[in-house]
Amino acid sequence: MLRRTTALLACGALSASLLGATATTTEAAPQVAQRHSPPKNPVAVGRGGAVSSVDPDASQVGLDVLARGGNAVDAAVATAAALGVTEPFSAGIGGGGYFVYRDGRTGEVNTIDGRETAPAAMEHDAFIDPATGQPYPFTPQLVTSGVSVGVPGTAATWSKALRRWGTFSLSDALTPAARLARRGFVVDPTFRLQTKENALRFRTFEPTFDLYLDHGLPVVGSRFRNPDLARTYERLGRRGVGWLYRGRLGREIAANVQDPPLSGRTDLPAPPGSMTTADLAGYRALVQAPTHVDYRGYDVYGMAPSSSGGTTVGESLDILEQFDLSGMRRRDVLHHYLEATALAFADRAEYVGDPAYVDVPTDDLLSDGFAAERACRIDPDHAAAKPVPPGDVTSYDGDCATGGRDLAGTERPDTENLSTTHLAVVDRWGNAVSYTLTIEQTGGSGIVVPGRGFLLNNELTDFTAVYDPDDPNRIEPGKRPRSSMSPTIVTRDGRPVLVIGSPGGSTIITTVLQVLLNRLDLGMSLPDAIAAPRASQRNTSTVTAEQAFIDQWGTKLGRYGHQFTVAGPPGSSSAEIGAVEAIEIGPHGRLTAAAEPTRRGGGAAYVLRPTLSR
């Protein structure tokens, strides 16, 4: 396809209010943006292409790109940029993420590691309070700082994805999001709640206060505009990502990390970080092969390290494949699911980190022999005491009788936060993108770059705070902190079947896995698989679960010895686990786009040519 230019935008393919449409007898024409936010449809069925994200404006932007002839990569970048407008506390060019792409023509799957990196001058004890010798309190002190900010990778990811697989220029892909930022979006209860929960941190920095709190908490139903971000997107599109990594925008980012723009309204210390323009100039988004496991005839592709998502989801599936889940009662399936993830998380903590700094035994972690041996540790009637030790990747033969040996493991704290966002796109050519992006904590570091309209991340808090030379996630200059982001693409017999992912910190892994089990093993429809209550066992003494899961399964699973902790207080953003966005590709190109019906306010799933009757 020829690369489209900005002239295409001006020639009538897209009006200022985006596209218009009319309905046909059996299928509707492309869904269109309206003056107000589009509806939050959690499910859409049809053909021609699909987009699923947590936000209707962002999903609409992606759908409009598909309607204009853009491919899945073009739509994914445009949707991600729009999420930087409407979900600014979860994503944006101040952060990073992981991009999984399947080529519809060749079937080849590739990924981009756009994870943030530590500055070259970052010290091993950067998170230790010298006055006490103990880690700084995580929230709000540690995250609300320059020291928590990693070199952002999102813009580099967008540029690399478009150059390799897209058809739009960066300017074309960012134009709809710039228009959305200038026009504004309708504030929903989730945006107001997230602003309220971060009010103390946002008051700490003058530009953040000015953008989000200058007129008090945003009112539900009002329109929130961000003209600074609109101008930033426009300049980034015109000048390219060199403006961020080697130009003026990069100098401004480094300056505000080194000298956070304090307002004096709070007493949060907000210690400065060490990021320099050289750190930005040296950043690279990495194209790399995906992880791959074969699960009951399905090929499951995920994100390789520095993310732990692909290895931990994959190992969990390999362990569960040793059992006939289809012949079990539902509670037995859930017991095996919880036990399998505990084992995989033990191995994650022991072995997975940035492969540029750690020798990650990915092939061993995803081998059938290792999984068979780990599966031997699951008692069908009793939950093991947690934490369970990791397996020994240097000594296994897949035989329960001879067995390998477990190592003497210790429970390592996991500070990965719950806020992130995800999107899924499939186009009419069969290209597919699963993309998870983040600024880490809800609201990131809390630092808005003055006059630029975006928040900087706090991704470096994903490192283990206390330096341990044996910890694969220890702090190292230039290193990428371990992530749990798990963008996933599933195929069968060479055909795409599912595109899926979720936010949620380390619960991302269990969320993606649980939805896969619900759909592939338990036979739920994709919407039902997403809506089902969730629980997350990450090799901890208790299982973190949504209240609905505890109400339904707590007593039955308690008989195995599982103990449960509620995910968060009712009404808080932490009470829910994950926020899945997914697309299923059925026979004859039939697409089912699905998003959360209620979690995080509900998502928005659209198809280009909706089928009016199923």
Q: Could you tell me the CATH number of the domain that includes residue 484? A: 3.60.20.40
Q: Which residue has the higher pLDDT, 64 or 2?
A: 64
Q: Mean pLDDT across the stretch 51-64?
A: 98
The answer to whether residues 115 and 479 touch, using CB atoms and an 8 Å cutoff, is no
Q: How confident is the model at residue 19 (pLDDT cuts 50, 70, 90)?
A: very low
Give domain status of residue 206, yes or no. yes
Q: Given the structure tokens 């953008």, which residue do they identify?
A: 211
- Residues 179-188 as b or e (16 or more Cβ within 10 Å = b): bbbbbbbebb
Give domain status of residue 172, yes or no. yes
Give domain status of residue 20, yes or no. no
Weakest mean pLDDT among 36-40, 161-165, 275-279, 450-454: 36-40
Give the whole-angstrom CA distance, residue 489 versus residue 380: 30
Query: What's the structural domain count of the chain?
Result: 1
Q: What is the predicted pLDDT for the residue at 575? A: 87
pLDDT single digits (tens) 529-538: 999 999 999 9
Residue 512 has pLDDT above 60, yes or no: yes
pTM for this structure?
0.92
Residue 401 has pLDDT above 90, yes or no: no
The DSSP secondary-structure symbol of 438 reads: E
Q: Which two tokens stand for residue 582?
A: 């997914």
Give domain status of residue 230, yes or no. yes
Q: What is the predicted pLDDT for the residue at 498? A: 98
Cα–Cα distances in angstroms (integers) from residue 348 to residues 313, 357, 379, 518, in the given order: 10, 15, 21, 23
Give domain status of residue 382, yes or no. no
Q: Mean pLDDT across the stretch 233-238?
A: 98
Q: Mean pLDDT across the stretch 510-522?
A: 98
pLDDT single digits (tens) 422-449: 999 999 999 999 999 999 999 999 999 9
Sign of the torsion angle spanned by Cα atoms 303, 309, 311, 316: negative
Q: Which residues are catalytically annotated?
A: 420
Helices (H), 119-247: 154-165, 170-183, 189-197, 199-204, 206-212, 227-239, 242-245
Q: What is the predicted pLDDT for the residue at 404? A: 61
Give domain status of residue 601, yes or no. yes
Q: Given the structure tokens 């080194």, which residue do they identify?
A: 258
Q: What is the predicted pLDDT for the residue at 62? A: 98
Give domain status of residue 538, yes or no. yes
Residue 70 has pLDDT above 80, yes or no: yes
Weakest mean pLDDT among 47-51, 175-179, 406-410, 606-610: 406-410
Cα–Cα distances in angstroms (integers) from residue 142 to residues 167, 424, 459, in the given order: 41, 32, 11
pLDDT single digits (tens) 356-393: 999 999 999 999 999 999 999 999 999 999 999 999 99
Domain ranges, residue 487: 25-286+415-610
Q: Mean pLDDT across the stretch 456-471?
A: 94
Residue 613 has pLDDT above 60, yes or no: no
Give residues with Cβ within 8 angstroms of 55, minimum separation 6. 82, 83, 86, 87, 603, 604
Give the whole-angstrom CA distance, residue 609 versus residue 22: 11
Q: Mean pLDDT across the stretch 545-557?
A: 97
CB burial of residue 192 (10 Å; 0-12, 13-18, 19+): middle
Give the whole-angstrom CA distance, residue 87 versus residue 214: 19
Give domain status of residue 530, yes or no. yes
CA 121 to chain CA mean position, Å: 27
Number of neighbouring beta carbons within 10 Å of residue 16: 6
pLDDT single digits (tens) 282-327: 999 999 999 999 999 999 999 999 999 999 999 999 999 999 999 9
Q: What is the predicted pLDDT for the residue at 418? A: 56
Single-letter amino acid, residue 407: L
Mean pLDDT of the chain: 91
Q: Mean pLDDT across the stretch 35-42?
A: 81
Q: Which two tokens stand for residue 225?
A: 């505009």
Share of the chain above pLDDT 90, in %: 84
Q: What is the predicted pLDDT for the residue at 129? A: 82
